[in-house]
Amino acid sequence: MRLAVVLGVLAFALLAAPASSDGGISDRLARIVPERMAADGVAGAVVVLIEGGEPVWTGAFGTADPATGRPMTSDALFRVESISKPVTAWGAMRLAETGRLDLDAPVDDCLTRWSLPEGAGRITPRALLSHSAGIGLGDYAARFPPEGPRPDLPEHIAQDVTLITAPEPGFTYSDTGYNLLELVIEDCTGEDFGALMAREVLSPLGMTGASFDWIGADMPVGHDLRGRPVAVYVYPGRASGGLHATAADIARFAIAGMAGADQPVLSPEGVAALHRPEVAVGGLFGFAAQGYALGHFTETLSDGRAAVWHGGQGHGWMSHVHLVPETGDGIVILSNSQRAWPLFATVLRDWSVSLGTAPVGMASVLRAERAARGAIALGLAVAALGLWRAYRDAWCPLPLRVLAGGIALVLILWPLWAATRDYLFLFSILPGHWPWLAAASVLAGLGLAALAIAPRRRG
């Protein structure tokens, strides 16, 4: 029973929530970001706080390269991954407002270097922008050295578009869809996507450090879910995740989307159209968003205000931008670590509280941590109970012994299988808790196995 008491104390410690403290949001972030980074093994991060349509605070934390000790700086250039999508959406809307792209015409009207497969149905740029074209996610692991050979965009799409189905009214998040939109834009305009985006969107918005093309800058070193450094890479397509930018660049982009912003790229009506929900979001995305507009996730805050946002996750990198256009509030978080999702959720939770609202949807990642603590405590309790009953030679009916043995096999084997995977969603949302969860599962399995094979009590 001493073992059970010790395990119970450990379980209580795991379930205890951190105490909150008062102070301004910038002071709060300056304190909690390093704490959370250390807890989850996050290499570095840059956070920009926006109030009233202006950046009011920037914090750079951790290291750009832990191997050399190079510190993170506020002007560091990041892979911003899927934040590329809302920026691409601004480019598409710019072309629409200047008469160079019809968002509601079939994409085949523009395509010259590739055509949709038979049976793909009528796909429009608007459907691609809203992830409602019925196209699958695509090969997000298609990465190549910046200076090495890689497939050109039509060749990559031809390989990746096999997941296309008929367009559906529902939401299907798709990197391939945005890469197809890049091809549509190039074929419609006759221009290179990166050059066009630089001239039409990035430069006019003052995003001077941003580029959809590889510029070979001395970037921070990305780190994967196991904390290992990641070699530099590029994707075959750029519209879905190829943007490189500083936190200040993404802050300027967010500010341009605020109500009444003085920006030369889009009309107020065009910006409003980008933020207007086109399709409801379900599945795992439904825990964090209510809808998807054109390049933006959407949600309604607890006080009724509309918020738009987008995040990004690539091999070794994570990013997030959240804004409340009505009031000019926003936040940008960039990290050179794929273990940063709980960090982002913590920052977004506290930022939400500073706005006087309930936590935004992305903060729901923290609920997974609480569930993991409960599962760890349960696993330790099952382990203690099983071992204690086996030690006491307690009798258990044969059907229950068989059931316990089957469950034990699953609890022991699934962590071993998971450890061989390069990526699982579980790793992203529980980078610090995953090893403890796996260990508790194995211990619970051993406890049940002991119960299953213990001899029946005599007499």
pLDDT value at 9 more than 60: no
* Superfamily designation of domain 45-338: DD-peptidase/beta-lactamase superfamily (3.40.710.10)
Instruction: Please give the average per-residue pLDDT across 89-96, as a whole number.
Output: 98
Q: What are phi and psi of 316, to 5 degrees?
A: 95, 0
| pTM, 2 dp | 0.88
Residue with tokens 């104390």: 9
- Express each pLDDT in 16-51 by its tens digit: 333 333 459 999 999 999 999 999 999 999 999 999
The more confident residue out of 426 and 437 is: 437
* pLDDT for 17: 36
* pLDDT for 102: 97
| Percent of the chain residues past pLDDT 90, beyond the cut | 69
pLDDT value at 53 more than 50: yes
- Express each pLDDT in 194-219 by its tens digit: 999 999 999 999 999 999 999 877 89
- For 44, other C-beta atoms within 10 Å of its C-beta total 27
Q: How far is Cα 82 from Cα 408, in angstroms, rounded to an integer?
A: 40
Q: Pull the structure tokens for residue 178.
A: 């945005």
Please state the domain extents for the chain: 1-42+364-459, 45-338
- Express each pLDDT in 290-340 by its tens digit: 999 999 999 999 999 999 999 999 999 999 999 999 999 999 999 999 999
* pLDDT for 21: 36
Q: Name which of 64, 93, 55, 60 is nearest 250 in CA terms.
A: 55
- Express each pLDDT in 443-459 by its tens digit: 999 988 887 887 655 44
Q: What is the average pLDDT value for the chain, to the nearest integer? A: 89
* pLDDT for 138: 80
- Express each pLDDT in 240-266 by its tens digit: 999 999 999 999 999 999 999 999 999
| pLDDT band, residue 400 (cuts 50/70/90) | confident
Instruction: Please give the average per-residue pLDDT across 147-152, as a whole number.
Output: 86
Contacts of 332 (CB under 8 A, 6+ apart): 46, 47, 48, 50, 247, 250, 251, 254, 320, 321
Half-sphere exposure (Cβ direction) of 426: Cα atoms closer than 13 Å: 15
Q: Which amino acid is at 72?
A: M
